[in-house]
Amino acid sequence: MGIKMEKNCPMLYFVTIAVVFISNLQANSDIVYNSTDQSLIDYIAENAEIRYDVISNFVDKRKTFTSKITIKNTGNLTIAYNNWEIYFYAIRLVQPNEYPYKEGFKLHNCKMRLYHVAGSLCKLCPERNFRMESHDFVECKLVMKYWQSAKTDTMPNWYVWAEGLTSRDIESTQGDTLTFVGPFERPEQYQRYADDGWSPFTPESRFKKNDELAVSNVSEKLVIPTPVEMNMKSGSVKVDSSWTVVNSTKYYQVAKLIAEHFGLTIRSTKPQEKFIDITEQHDLNPLNVSTTVNEAYLIQISSQYITVSARAKAGMFYAYQTLKSIHQDGKSLPLCVIKDQPRFAYRGMHLDVGRNFFSKEEILKILETMAMYKLNQFHFHLTEDEGWRLEIPGIPELTEIGSRRCHDLNEDTCILPQLGSGSPKNGLGSGFYTTEDYMEILRYANDRNIQVIPEIDMPGHCRAGIKALEARYRKYMKIGNEVEANKYLLTDFADKTQYLTVQWFSDNAINICLNSTAVFIRHLITSLIEMHQDIQPLNIYHFGGDEVAGAWKESPECKKFLSKKGLNDTATLKRYFAHFMSNLTNDEELHMAVWADALKEGNALYNISAFPTNQNIIAYNWDNLWERGHGDKAYKLANAGYKVVLS
């Protein structure tokens, strides 16, 4: 059982977004910006009023939709052609039928030219005949893949820039309220296609549905998840300062937590009454299963004393969480007997901090909440195309550059803005965890019976790491240190392969044929093992492995590699890499986790017998949508011998 956050993959259908600029020009201002200096950039940022509207999803049988961008000049000056550019974000590929358009796609009615920069980042450049008078506007139409049926598919913080000047975020698009996005009121706006059954709730319909679900004479649940057995008796007991906690040498930390929660002292001897006793009980197994037996516990609450029993640290910690849950009014506890044991060995949460960064403090809050609900696996998605979030000793560029987003087209100081992050350096979407931050997270998780499963996604979804190490390469080449420049390089610069991922990147796959790539991966795993070793020894390493989109076909290094390894073509490299990672992690006595699509070629799963037999291969199956005919994928993986997590 798993909960997945932020693994944000576009739909498998084509949709089209139309964004149109239609000029409505009046010669009503005397001052014209026809040269570019910082004052023009500032003027556009402050006076360009952006409006985005979806026109219709009912365009091309689920493949495309149309929308409209309106730019109004609310200032008193005229904006004319020059080298300024407006950057915006589109999570659907713009003009898919014309892609790639390296020289730009001319939007005739709006006198601007559209470019796809990378991923979700696009830009609009004025044509020579562009002119927008004071208080006039332009409208532009675009066509994009898939559909858009919600405001939140539009990203904020568009910005304007010109060569040699400082970029500025456009004020009318700032913030996450998305006030510049028009409403979704008509069926062709809020439905994905003509025969879509979806209809959004109104406040009135939502109230009615909730009211219909209300059930009378049902008491609220005191404990979530529901315990295996919960025998409630009449009466309650007030635990006040006259009570004590009997010390347990083996489970002192839990004794301390219980004492702190109730405001009690800890003593070494058991009094006659009014005590909370912590005892070890080796025969606890309410579900009669071995996989979660160490997480089982028993709580017995009487008017004279409370007994908390478990056979291991994890169970004792969960007993503490249950005590907190039933002590709701802060005064008394119900008289009861509670027996509990988790039904699932894996009770997880997946958090993607690559696309959207969460601070260390926010991670600790999430872990605290996980512990409250007795979740025990934290799948920590630490890297993505849009950000590298973990400091790796010896390779500072990964976080110095790969964790930061800003407008730097060369990506020497940061990676490009994505997903509404805006143009300033160290702004939204930027951030990383130092090694000490990460180890503090490990300690916090370990104290709460939560295993941290780090994911460094590769070979795809690794653009932030790739660009950071390309910048490292350029830095060392400038000073003539070719050995250091190539040490961790992930790029074959001679590779002319053209590919495009479902997140619209064409340069996000590490080159797995380079020896420096293998050196880099070994360094990563060794670094993670060292961070974990004295806190929570690393047990599972997740390498991602999903959504590799036709990379390496024209790579000279891969052609040599294929010949050396006796492999047929680049299509076999995905399988090769899965086995390489399996052997590498197995050598370190680690189990290997992957996204499920890393374990197949077409619809055929890899034979698990080809992997090391003493290693668990854990498939995280995110594509479970029954409406697409994918509801059986998890069963197929399990029947093939893989451990399976539903994500």
- Produce one character per residue of 322-354: b if its CB has 16 or more CB atoms within 10 Å, e if not: bbeebbeeeeebbbbbbbbbbeeebbbbbbbbb
The whole-angstrom separation of Cα 437 and Cα 440 is: 5
* Two structure tokens written together for 295: 């997480």
Query: 374: number of CA atoms within 13 Å, CB side?
Result: 27
Query: 392: number of CA atoms within 13 Å, CB side?
Result: 27
Decide if 184 contacts 150 (C-beta within 8 A): yes
Which phi and psi (to 5°) does residue 417 adopt?
Answer: -60, 145
The whole-angstrom separation of Cα 259 and Cα 148 is: 53
* Active-site residue flag, 163: no
Query: 369: number of CA atoms within 13 Å, CB side?
Result: 7
Cα separations in angstroms, 174 against 55, 88, 178, 437: 23, 12, 8, 30
Beta strands 121-126; 85-89: pairing state:
antiparallel
Decide if 458 contacts 520 (C-beta within 8 A): no
Query: 16: number of CA atoms within 13 Å, CB side?
Result: 20
The whole-angstrom separation of Cα 160 and Cα 172 is: 12
The whole-angstrom separation of Cα 621 and Cα 640 is: 14
- 402 burial via Cβ count (<10 Å: 0-12, 13-18, 19+): buried
Write the single-letter amino acid at 379. Answer: H
Which phi and psi (to 5°) does residue 210 adopt?
Answer: -65, -40
CB neighbour list of residue 359: distance below 8 Å, 6 or more residues apart: 431
The whole-angstrom separation of Cα 66 and Cα 3 is: 33
- 624 burial via Cβ count (<10 Å: 0-12, 13-18, 19+): middle
Q: Which of 530, 547, 557, 589 is catalytic?
A: 547
* SS3 of residue 414 by DSSP: coil
Decide if 618 contacts 593 (C-beta within 8 A): yes
CB neighbour list of residue 292: distance below 8 Å, 6 or more residues apart: 341, 342, 343, 344, 345
Write the single-letter amino acid at 555. Answer: S
Decide if 131 contacts 79 (C-beta within 8 A): yes
Nearest to 352 by CA among 390, 385, 381, 383: 381
Any idea of the CA torsion for 563, 568, 571, 577, to the nearest 10 degrees? Answer: -60
State the DSSP string of 508-573.
----TTSHHHHHHHHHHHHHHHHHHTTTS---EEEEE-----STTTT-HHHHHHHHHHT--SGGGH
Which residues are annotated as catalytic?
Answer: 547
